[in-house]
Amino acid sequence: MIACVADIMKKDIQSIGFFDGLRKAESTLIESNIDCLPVVKHGAIVGILSLKDILKSHPNRIAADAMDKNFVSIPSKTSLWRAKQILEENKLEKLPVLDDNELVGFITRTEVLIELGKYTDLLTGLYRSDYIYHQGMELLASGCEVSVIFLDLNKFGVIDKEYGHTQGDIILKEVGMLLKDHAPSDTYLCRFGGDEFVVLTPYKLDKCKLLAENLIKAIETHIFSNQLTITAAVGISGGRRLEERRIVEVDTVIDLINLASLASTKAKKDKQGVVVAEGFCNHEESATA
Amino acid sequence: MSSTFESTKKAEITMRLSEFEMPPMQDVLIVGKRAPIGPEAARRMVDILSPDQYEIVEISHPIIEALVIRKSLASMMDKDKLIGLILDEGGKVANESTIIKAQLNIVLQVSKSVDL
């Protein structure tokens, strides 16, 4: 469900010994057409040696005296969004993948960005649902409150049929932009599917409801470039936790999204703007029962 | 017309014999940042040639990467003071690509008076 580093990492790893000379390292890099090598001592990775490190060191040196000792690594189960974040925060091009301190692969920034591109909706430029599952897990793991806004456009199927799909696409694109503009920076947005959008927030129910109402208002008052009038129905779940979460699993996020989705269907059916889901996460209930 | 050329090849050998100093690095080595050997290589060298007698101190300095110091010196005076002194003087003559060998003598002068 969540794309992780193990899915894209290169497993064919070349490495170099701690006491190996830079000449050997240089030839390995050139022959393998790569730009950095893990330096291994007693089976464990102790540094990363790049072409840049080799160029700025005396050629007589050993790998141990030219490598970067302050390297950053990630476990293979890390999500691609987290990997991207780590690469950007540390201004890195490559990351070694370590499981139980054993080198199991390598990922590059380019590969991560290409893969994440597959999880981006080309029409709206928003991430797809995977992104929300990942961010939901991150929020749960950090002990934050989690609430979900499930936004569904009203009568979108009718618009597609009456005005054509290209007009429908214009609406989706502009709704995507509106949500991007109005969603606060501490929330996470995705196009969940068709005419459905999800905003994940670290807010309690009241604040989440307020945000949902603002988003509905922004859509309703927006003058779309094709002059069509659009309204939205919203379902909300979560944001009411009294105790600390005992379980941090993706199923909790899935349950929250599902509850919000059902609430949005109710909102649409009852012609209400916002409906708050009444149920709780099935997954958590069954796990704690 | 014919001519004859004579050619000879000679090799002159000079030999200089001197005693290999043990240990070859004396009291202190100042290792430049782009020196042919770095701290790990120096550590390996001293560990093999003179086990347990030298300490490698990696330092933060614009041109010097590490110091190899004879442990007995550090036991005679405060290590930080010793490093400061070596960097003060060594930094003036060292450059990024050199390894400087330094000899250091510490003479402690103690004078005490006691009541008779």
Q: What is the CATH number of the domain that holds A94?
A: 3.10.580.10
Query: pLDDT value at position A246?
Result: 65
Judge contact between A177 and A222, C-beta under 8 A. Answer: no
Is B37 in CB contact (< 8 Å) with chain A? yes
Task: Say which of A18, A19, A60 has its CB closest to residue B36.
Answer: A60
Query: pLDDT value at position A282?
Result: 54
Flag if A61 and B39 touch (Cβ within 8 Å).
no
Residue B82 within any structural domain of the chain: yes
Flag if A56 and B38 touch (Cβ within 8 Å).
no
Per-residue model confidence as pLDDT tens digits over B40-97: 999 899 888 888 899 999 999 999 999 999 999 988 889 999 999 999 999 899 999 9
Tokens of B98: 């050199």
Domain span at residue B64 reads: 28-102
Task: Note whether A277 and A188 are same-domain residues.
Answer: yes
CB atoms within 10 A of CB A226: 15
The answer for A100, left when phi > 0, alpha when psi is -120 to 50, beta otherwise, is left
Which residue type does A171 have?
I
- Looking at A116, A139, A170, the residue that finishes a domain is A116
Provide the domain count of chain B. Answer: 1
Residue B16 within any structural domain of the chain: no
Judge contact between A64 and A39, C-beta under 8 A. Answer: yes
Count of positions (residues) in chain B: 116
Flag if B34 and A66 touch (Cβ within 8 Å).
no
Residue B68 within any structural domain of the chain: yes
Is B44 in CB contact (< 8 Å) with chain A? yes
Query: pLDDT value at position A3?
Result: 79
Flag if A61 and B37 touch (Cβ within 8 Å).
yes
Task: Say which of B38, B44, B97 has its CB closest to residue A66.
Answer: B38
Task: Note whether A50 and A137 are same-domain residues.
Answer: no
The average confidence (pLDDT) of chain B is 89
Query: pLDDT value at position A27?
Result: 94
Flag if B41 and A61 touch (Cβ within 8 Å).
yes
Provide the domain count of chain A. Answer: 2
Task: Note whether A61 and A161 are same-domain residues.
Answer: no
Residue B109 within any structural domain of the chain: no
- Closest-CA distance of chain A to residue B63, Å: 13
pTM for this predicted structure: 0.63
- Closest-CA distance of chain A to residue B39, Å: 6
Q: Do the interacting molecules here have an ipTM over 0.85? A: no
**CB contacts, 8 Å: B38 with chain A:** 57, 61-62, 64-66
Residue B3 within any structural domain of the chain: no
What string of pLDDT tens digits covers the 289 residues of chain A? 677 899 999 888 888 999 999 999 999 999 988 888 889 998 888 998 988 899 999 999 999 999 998 888 999 989 888 899 899 998 888 888 988 878 888 888 888 999 988 889 999 999 999 889 988 988 888 888 899 999 999 999 998 889 999 999 999 999 999 999 999 999 999 999 999 999 999 999 999 999 999 999 999 999 998 888 899 999 999 887 766 666 667 788 899 999 999 999 999 888 888 888 876 555 554 444 3
In the sheet with B99-102, reading across from the earlier edge strand, the strands are B54-58, B64-70, B28-32, B99-102
Angle between helices A165-182 and A156-163 (to 10 degrees): 140
What CATH number is attached to the domain comprising A127? 3.30.70.270
- Closest-CA distance of chain B to residue A66, Å: 8
Domain span at residue A197 reads: 121-288
Query: pLDDT value at position A286?
Result: 47
Residue B64 within any structural domain of the chain: yes
Residue B96 within any structural domain of the chain: yes
Evaluate if residue B116 carries a pLDDT over 90. no
Task: Note whether A97 and A185 are same-domain residues.
Answer: no
Query: pLDDT value at position A144?
Result: 85
Q: How many CA atoms lie within 13 A of B57 on its CB side?
A: 20
Is A68 in CB contact (< 8 Å) with chain B? no
Q: Which of residues 49-78 of B touch A (CB under 8 A)?
A: none
Task: Note whether A241 and A188 are same-domain residues.
Answer: yes
